[in-house]
C-alpha cells in the first residue's frame, strides 16, 4: 500500500521557510522598510524604492496562456516554477502576483497560491485574508456607497438621479442572492428605497485603482475621480463631489503597500491586488512591479486568463500606467486545453475530466492547435517574444507533447515542457533557459492603438486584431454613450472588453480560433477613476454563485487547531 500524495497545504507546511527579513535582504530591501505580519509575511513601505533607484531594471516577463478550460491551465504555478528555476540558474528573480479572492477559495476553483512544489507560502495566509487588503478595499468601496445613499437621504443637494447610480456594494464572498437587492426599505429614517446590488470585491473599481495606482497620491487622485452616477442634467457625480475620497484613501493607507512572501524555494514574491479578470484588468499591482523591477534580474508577473484577456490588458492598460515594457511573454498550454478546443470533449468546472479526454490522442491535440497559434500571434502583435510552456500533467502522453512542440516551433516560438508542480524549480529549468534567451533579444514593444483613437475604433481594433472578429455590432445606446464619454473627456482612455474567458470570441461555445463572427456590444461603462472605458459583451456575472458542493464544505480545523481541506 502506497502513501497518499501530500496535499498542497501539507507541502507548504513542510517547507523550510526563511524569515521574511532574509527574503527581503536577498532582494536588496532593508528590514527598516518592512512592516512584518508574523515571521513570513511583510508589507513593504514606499521608502524601499529609493535605495533601489540606481539598480538596473530587471527583465520583465509576463505569463499568459491559451484560452483556458474552466479548470485553469496553471499560469500561477508556471510563474512560480519559472521564478524558482531562474534562481537555480543563478539569477535573482522576483514574482509579482495577484492576491487570491475568498470567493473562488471557498467556491469551485479553490485558492491561487500555486500547487505542488511550485507554491508561494505561507499558502494558508495567502489564501485567507493575508494582510487584509481585500477587506480594506471592501470597506473603502462600501463607504462610498453609504455616502451616496446618505446624500440621497439628506436632501440630495447634488441632484443625483437615482436611476443613474451605478456604484453598487461589494463583498468578498460568492453569493448569487445579493446580485440584485432593494435598499432603503422600512421607515422614512431607513433611507431612500432604490434598486441596488452587490458585486464581488475583486470586481470593485477600487480594486482596479489599487492595482493601477503608481503611488499613494495617485491612488487618492484616482479615488476622487470615481463616477457614481449623474445629475438630472447629465453631469457626472464623483467621489470628490461627495467628499468621500479622502476617507477612502485613509482606509487604503496600508493596502497600497505590496505584500512580500516567498516561494517554497525561498524566491521572493510580491502578492498585491486582485482585480477581476473578465470586466477589469486581471493583473497584479503597478506599485509591486515598480518595486520588483529594481529588486531582481528577472521580474515575473502573471496576467489573468488567456492572452486575449489578461495579456492584452497588461500590454494596453497596465504597461501604460506603469511605463514598464515587457521583454518576453510565456504562453502556458496544456494537453487538456487543446483537447477541449478540438470540440470533441466538454470540460465542466467541479467535475472530473471526461474519460475519453484522458486517452492518448495526438489528433485531438492537433485539432485544438489553432487556439495556441492564435495566442502566439496575439503576443507577437505587441512586439513581444513568445515562449510556449507545456504545463505537463501526470496523465499526459509524450506523443501529445510532441504535437504541441511541433505546432509551436512551426510558428517560430520557443517551446519547453515544464514539470514544476511535481519537481519545483528543477522541473522548469528548460523553460527558464528559453525565457532568458527570449528576454535578451531586441524588442519592439508597441501598443495596439493610440490613445487618441476614437473609443469605438479602439473597441473594434481589439475585436479584430486580438479576438479575430470580423467586426463589432454596437447597440444604438452604446453609440450614444460612447459619444457622451468622449464629450465628457474620457475619449483618451484605453478600453477593456468584458467578455467570456472561455473563448477567443464573445461566445463561450465557440472553441479553437473561431472566424466569421462579429462581436456584439450591448453596454459600455466608464471606470473613470481606474481610467478606462469597458464594453460589455454578453452576460457578465460580477457576483459569482456557489456550486452545489463548494470548497467551503471541505475546509475545517483539526483537533490541534490547524486548517485542513484548503486547496
Quote the pTM value. Answer: 0.95
Does 3 map to a domain? no
Cα distance between residue 545 and residue 541, in whole Å: 9
Strands 42-44 and 34-36: antiparallel
Which residue ranges of the chain lie beneath pLDDT 50? 1
Q: Which residues pair with 497 in a beta bridge?
A: 535
Within a domain: 555: no
- 494 and 532 belong to one structural domain: yes
- Domain around 521: 455-536
> Using alpha carbons only, how large is the chain's radius of gyration in Å?
23
548 inside domain: no
Same domain, 430 and 484: no
Domain C-terminal end among 439, 474, 498? 439
Q: How far is CA 359 from CA 158, 339, 362, in A?
A: 64, 11, 10
CA dist 330 and 307 (Å) reads 10
Predicted pLDDT of residue 303: 97
Contacts of 284 (CB under 8 A, 6+ apart): 96, 97, 98, 99, 211, 270, 271, 272, 273, 274, 301, 302
Q: What is the pLDDT of residue 1?
A: 42
Q: 400 and 280 in one domain?
A: yes
- In the structure grid, which three cell numbers stand for residue 159, read together? 441632484
111 part of a folded domain? yes
- How far apart are alpha carbons 161 and 152 in whole angstroms? 9
Q: Are 481 and 521 in a shared domain?
A: yes
The pLDDT tens digits of the residues spanning 343-376 come to 998 888 778 888 888 999 999 999 999 999 999 9
Residue 2: the pLDDT is 52
Bridge partner list, 377: none
How many domains does the structure of the chain reveal?
A: 3
> Do 50 and 123 sit in the same domain of this protein?
yes
Which pLDDT score, from 0 to 100, does residue 5 have? 84
Residues 350/554, Cβ–Cβ less than 8 Å: no
Is residue 100 domain-shared with residue 41, that is, in the same domain? yes
Q: Are residues 92 and 74 in the same domain?
A: yes
Amino acid at each position: 500500500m502506497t502513501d497518499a500524495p501530500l496535499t498542497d497545504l501539507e507541502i507548504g507546511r513542510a517547507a523550510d521557510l526563511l524569515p521574511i527579513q532574509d527574503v527581503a535582504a536577498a532582494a536588496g530591501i532593508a528590514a527598516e522598510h518592512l512592516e512584518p505580519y508574523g515571521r513570513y509575511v511583510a508589507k513593504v513601505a514606499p521608502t524601499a524604492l529609493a535605495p533601489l533607484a540606481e539598480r538596473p531594471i530587471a527583465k520583465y516577463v509576463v505569463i499568459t496562456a491559451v484560452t483556458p478550460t474552466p479548470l485553469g491551465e496553471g499560469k500561477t504555478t508556471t510563474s512560480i516554477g519559472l521564478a524558482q528555476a531562474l534562481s537555480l540558474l543563478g539569477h535573482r528573480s522576483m514574482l509579482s502576483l495577484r492576491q487570491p479572492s475568498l470567493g473562488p477559495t471557498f467556491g469551485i476553483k479553490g485558492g491561487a497560491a500555486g500547487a505542488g512544489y511550485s507554491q508561494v507560502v505561507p499558502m494558508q495566509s495567502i489564501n485567507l485574508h493575508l494582510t487584509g487588503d481585500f477587506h480594506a478595499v471592501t470597506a473603502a468601496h462600501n463607504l462610498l456607497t453609504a455616502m451616496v445613499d446618505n446624500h440621497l437621504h439628506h436632501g440630495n443637494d447634488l441632484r443625483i438621479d437615482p436611476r443613474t447610480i451605478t456604484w453598487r456594494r461589494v463583498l468578498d464572498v460568492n453569493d448569487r442572492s445579493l446580485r440584485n437587492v432593494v435598499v432603503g426599505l422600512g421607515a422614512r429614517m431607513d433611507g431612500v428605497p432604490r434598486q441596488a446590488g452587490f458585486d464581488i470585491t475583486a470586481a470593485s473599481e477600487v480594486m482596479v485603482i489599487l492595482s493601477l495606482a503608481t503611488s499613494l497620491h495617485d491612488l487618492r487622485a484616482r479615488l476622487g475621480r470615481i463616477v457614481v452616477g449623474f445629475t438630472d442634467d447629465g453631469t457626472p457625480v464623483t467621489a470628490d463631489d461627495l467628499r468621500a475620497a479622502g476617507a477612502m484613501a485613509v482606509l487604503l493607507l496600508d493596502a497600497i503597500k505590496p505584500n512580500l512572501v516567498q516561494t517554497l524555494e525561498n524566491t521572493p514574491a510580491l502578492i498585491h491586488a486582485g482585480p477581476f479578470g473578465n470586466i477589469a484588468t486581471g493583473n497584479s499591482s503597478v506599485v509591486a512591479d515598480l518595486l520588483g523591477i529594481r529588486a531582481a534580474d528577472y521580474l515575473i508577473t502573471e496576467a489573468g486568463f488567456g492572452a486575449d484577456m489578461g495579456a492584452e490588458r497588461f500590454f494596453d492598460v497596465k504597461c501604460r500606467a506603469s511605463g514598464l515594457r515587457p521583454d518576453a511573454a510565456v504562453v502556458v498550454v496544456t494537453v487538456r486545453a487543446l483537447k477541449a478546443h478540438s470540440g470533441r470533449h466538454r470540460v465542466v468546472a467541479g467535475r472530473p475530466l471526461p474519460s475519453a479526454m484522458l486517452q492518448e490522442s495526438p489528433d485531438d491535440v492537433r485539432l485544438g492547435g489553432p487556439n495556441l497559434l492564435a495566442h502566439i500571434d496575439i503576443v507577437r502583435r505587441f512586439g513581444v517574444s513568445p515562449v510556449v510552456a507545456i504545463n505537463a500533467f501526470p496523465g499526459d502522453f509524450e506523443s501529445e507533447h510532441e504535437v504541441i512542440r511541433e505546432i509551436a516551433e512551426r510558428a517560430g516560438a520557443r517551446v519547453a515542457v515544464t514539470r514544476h508542480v511535481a519537481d519545483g524549480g528543477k522541473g522548469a529549468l528548460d523553460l527558464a533557459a528559453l525565457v532568458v534567451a527570449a528576454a535578451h533579444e531586441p524588442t519592439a514593444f508597441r501598443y495596439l492603438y493610440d490613445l487618441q483613437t476614437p473609443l469605438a475604433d479602439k473597441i473594434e481594433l481589439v475585436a479584430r486584431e486580438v479576438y479575430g472578429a470580423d467586426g463589432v455590432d454596437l447597440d444604438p445606446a452604446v453609440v450614444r454613450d460612447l459619444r457622451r464619454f468622449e464629450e465628457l473627456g474620457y475619449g483618451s482612455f484605453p478600453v477593456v472588453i468584458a467578455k467570456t474567458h472561455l473563448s477567443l470570441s464573445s461566445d463561450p461555445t465557440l472553441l479553437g480560433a473561431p472566424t466569421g463572427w462579429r462581436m456584439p456590444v450591448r453596454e459600455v461603462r466608464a471606470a473613470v477613476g481606474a481610467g478606462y472605458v469597458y464594453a460589455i459583451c454578453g452576460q457578465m456575472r460580477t457576483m459569482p454563485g456557489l456550486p452545489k458542493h463548494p470548497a467551503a464544505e471541505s475546509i475545517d480545523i483539526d483537533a490541534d487547531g490547524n486548517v485542513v481541506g484548503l486547496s
